[in-house]
Amino acid sequence: MMKRILLILTCLLTVTTTRACDICGCGVGSYYLGILPDFSKRFAGLRYQHKTMQSHLGAGGATSYLTTAETYQTAELWGGWNIGQRFRALAFVPFNFNGKTNEGVTTHQSGLGDIAAIGFYNVFSNRQTVNSKLLVQSLWVGAGVKAPTGRYYQAAKIAGGESPNNFQLGTGSTDFTLNAMYDIRLMDAGINANLSYKINTANRYDYRYGNKYTANLLAYYKFRIAPQVTVSPDAGVLYETAGKDMDAGLQVDVSGGYALMGTVGAEVMLGRVNIGGNFQPVIKQQLAYMHVKAGSRMMVHATVLF
């Protein structure tokens, strides 16, 4: 049993080490899953995500009067459906609010982002007793599609490739994801692992964002405060890495990279209502030859199970 558990965790994490991010989660980044609510049939809720980034950095990441401060906020409707014992579907409808400030001038854009859906299949799910303690584990694998519903601004590209093409509401392309979720829990202590590989296609302007790996590993503990109240703090790491963008068949130098981030948060279950959030500080990063620097992120959500 222990060898099987270690093999699954190793497969979920080590596959992420081969590439370099469509600036790691800002603007047109991939969808963060984290620990899903413990639902039996359906859930629906609202998530808010806040991310920051600096671009136009000088050599070695130095700031100057040209440096641009960018903020990406997303209010996202999300939901999940369990179909029988083996199938699960998730859907995401984001509304993006982007802003950037350069030399005292602030630019804003807001609107619908790229809607996405993911289908999962339950490879296995079992419960057993180990040394008089309950061990529960499950593995889900799936695939998803992202529709080009968010506006893509062709004019937002900066001539000469000196700025990442990231200040967008959407990619303008139909993209695909491969996903895996593994959870193991011994009594009230558990580990959750998520892996996603995002396959991007070229949009109608022949611009293609680099394919992207995202992996996160979280440890959590469930404190049962009352019959209908559970508090579950969690902590772990998030790793993102993506390849270079391609513009009309030519590689975009100011793109790609990786970021390693810590994660600390908590989930609170109040009957059928789940409230949670997390904070993700940057541990290490190298984005677009260090011409871009990602800041810390945060996410909060309120979800109803029904």
Task: For 195-219, give one letter per residue: b (16+ CB within 10 A) or e.
Answer: bbbbebebbeeebbbbbbbbbbbbe
pLDDT digits (tens, 9 = 90+) for 155-208: 765 544 566 788 899 999 999 999 999 999 999 999 999 999 999 999 999 999
pLDDT digits (tens, 9 = 90+) for 230-240: 999 999 999 99
Looking up tokens 């541990």, which residue turns up?
Answer: 283
Q: Can you tell me the distance from the alpha carbon of 129 to that of 122, in angstroms, rounded to the nearest whole number?
A: 21
Q: What is the mean pLDDT of the chain?
A: 87
CB 170 within 8 A of CB 150: yes
Return the DSSP state at 184. E
Task: Give the residues across from 110 on adjacent strands.
Answer: 97
CB 213 within 8 A of CB 241: yes
Question: What is this structure's pTM?
Answer: 0.86
All domains in the chain, ordered by first residue: 2-305 (2.40.128.130)
pLDDT digits (tens, 9 = 90+) for 269-302: 999 999 999 999 999 999 887 888 999 999 999 9
